[in-house]
Chains A and B, each alone.
Chain A
Amino acid sequence: MRNDIELDGIIDDYLQGNLTADEAAAFEQLRANDPAVDHKVVAHQVFVASLKEYGNILFLKQQMNNAHAGIDVDTLAEELRPHPSMLVNLWRKNKSAFAVAASFLLLTVFSIYSIQHNSKQNGSYEVMRREITNIKNNQNSQNKLVRTIISSSKADRGPFRAAKFGGTGFALTANGYICTNLHVINDADSIYVQNSKGDSFKATVVHRDSEHDIAILKITDNSFTPLSNLPYKLKKNSIGMGENVYTLGYPKDDAVLGEGYVSSRTGHGGDTTQYQVSIQINPGNSGGPLLDNYGNIIGVITAKENNVDGATFAIKAKYIQQALNAIPEDSLGKKVAFSKRSPMQGLSRTKQIDKIENYVYMIKVYN
């Protein structure tokens, strides 16, 4: 018993490092020689270690309890416990989801705002259109693309008085039916048409379509000799955006070619009776034929956007046919018809124009 107490004291001192170097060496010798002592040392060490750990954790718990005492748990709990209201719970649990939804919403609002912003510009676009429509009704408007012929130096076989307004028209039949815009010949006292060779013929209006701004004239002049077969056809089908198109017109005394592409399937403000084409045209081009690459007539040039460059509008060919239908079949003779294959298909642009030129007329209006 006495020895055990001493041994215990020595082991404690040994483990705490309180022994001198000699004593420690001697004790280690004893450990090595006596397994029972060695076992005691190890067992003691383990037990003391767990005792120490117990102490540490006890101390830690004490510290934590002190810290805990400093926290106002009740208030916190009141704040954090599940709220009786479903809404608050929902908010707490799905904060992140709400955040995502909110940012999405914000984005949407933003996009809608910017779209509306864009449509605001469209709005002013329409206002411009109204102006144009107003002007359209005004005979004297430049925008109608009726060329005001101030001094026509060309003395032709027609009237010797200079024509007041000019436009363009094109032959619909070999026997002298010509298509042009109604606004070109509106209020006309007399109408003369002049072909590319410079010959003028008197013409009368046989059909007015104010809805589509189409007029059909008939050459009544005795000197007029029927034309050979028409080189072009009407294309009734809607034409695709981006299709290359061209027009021949008389913004001056000689024919002028205008080239471009279909930029929209609808005209001003979504007018479905018209195309929007990107062709630079000038007063005098009104009533000119709009042709596609294959030499089909797809429309009649009628007006252009005031403040927008290269936005020209053309009445779709379908409505030419409608106008034609209003004229007795007998008097038309051999007329242009819708067909699948165009006679000029495959010809180069120059060749096409060569052929068409003879069928496009300058319309001269006197009043």
Chain B
Amino acid sequence: MSNKLSSSVPTDREVVLGILNNSADALNKLYTGHFPMILQFILNNNGDEDDAKDVYQEAIIILYNKIKSGDFELSSKLKTYIYSVCRRIWLKKLSQQSKKSNNIDDFEDVIAVEFDVEQHEAKDLQFEKMGESLLNLGEPCKTIIQDFYINNLSMQDICEKFGYTNTDNAKTQKYKCLQRLKKLFFQS
């Protein structure tokens, strides 16, 4: 059931449905639709374009995970939710940089999203760790692990891609890689 989006500005329902159906178009429209709002907020509160991008992408990830996890209820507008999350994240960043964070210039309504943001921070930490571990893992282990666990390639595909003589060799290689990755991940 793929949802064809008719208008350029998707409704909140369309966005939620689109994300649940892995529609790239829905995500695209959601992203481009609300970015100016956040850009304005960040630019007017001691930030630059890159800050806006980082904060905004984090907020979209939070929203995305929330929708994907299935416990998302449209209790407010997506716009308000995104704005509130971005505001929260940016306030935290500002206080970390010990910049002044009073006198925040608001452009939208704000709802309470502290819990979502904190949950995300824990996940984000894991994400960073995983990324770092994979980076340290080096090639070809990194690609093998990514292909098998993330891209869901079969052992046969990997075998052919990397030119292993048989799948057992590939399996052994994958096992070793995974063991090293686990070590790297839990050590750091």
Interface of A with B (CB < 8 Å)?
A: 4-5, 8-9, 12, 47-48, 50-55, 57-58, 60-61, 63-64, 66-68, 70-71, 73-74, 76-77, 80-82, 93
Contacts and interface: CB of A to CB of B under 8 A. Distances in A.
Nearest to A16: B152
Interface string B164-188: 0000000110010010001001000
B82 interface: no
Contacts of B57: 61, 64, 68
The majority secondary structure among interface residues of chain A is helix
B36 interface: yes
A335 to B, nearest CB: 80
Nearest to B145: A51
Nearest to A5: B175
A47, A51, A76, A77 pick with most chain B CB within 10 angstroms: A51
Contact of B178 (A8, A66, A77): A8
The majority secondary structure among interface residues of chain B is helix
19 contacts: A5-B171, A5-B175, A8-B175, A8-B178, A9-B171, A47-B185, A51-B130, A51-B150, A58-B131, A63-B24, A63-B28, A64-B27, A64-B31, A67-B32, A68-B35, A70-B28, A77-B43, A77-B49, A93-B105
B178 A82 contact: no
A60 B149 contact: no
B49 A73 contact: yes
A5 B168 CA distance: 9
A60 B40 CA distance: 23
B52 to A, nearest CB: 8
Interface string B137-162: 00000000110111100010000000
B22 to A, nearest CB: 10
Contacts of B127: 53-54, 57
Nearest to A93: B105
Contacts of A70: 28, 32
Nearest to B154: A18
B85 interface: no
A53 B44 CA distance: 33
B53 interface: yes
Contact of B43 (A4, A64, A81): A81
B16 interface: no
Given A54-B127, A71-B35, 6 more contacts: A8-B175, A52-B149, A60-B27, A60-B60, A60-B64, A77-B39
A68 B31 contact: yes
Nearest to B173: A5
B95 interface: no
Contacts of A9: 155, 171, 175
A342 to B, nearest CB: 71
The 9 closest A-B pairs by CB, nearest first: A55-B150, A80-B40, A67-B31, A54-B130, A81-B43, A5-B175, A67-B28, A51-B149, A8-B175
A67 to B, nearest CB: 4
Interface residues of B, number: 37
A55 B32 contact: no
A58 B128 CA distance: 11
Contacts of B182: 47
Nearest to A65: B57
B39 A80 contact: yes
B123 A53 contact: yes
Contacts of B53: 68, 73
A50 B60 CA distance: 19
A73 B131 contact: no
B20 interface: no
A53, A54, A63, A93 pick with most chain B CB within 10 angstroms: A54
A55 B49 contact: no
Contacts of B149: 48, 51-52, 55
A124 B126 CA distance: 84
A93 B40 CA distance: 11
B111 interface: no
Contacts of B74: none
B61 interface: yes
A16 to B, nearest CB: 8
Nearest to B148: A12
Contacts of B123: 53
Contact of A5 (B40, B61, B172, B185): B172
Nearest to A4: B175
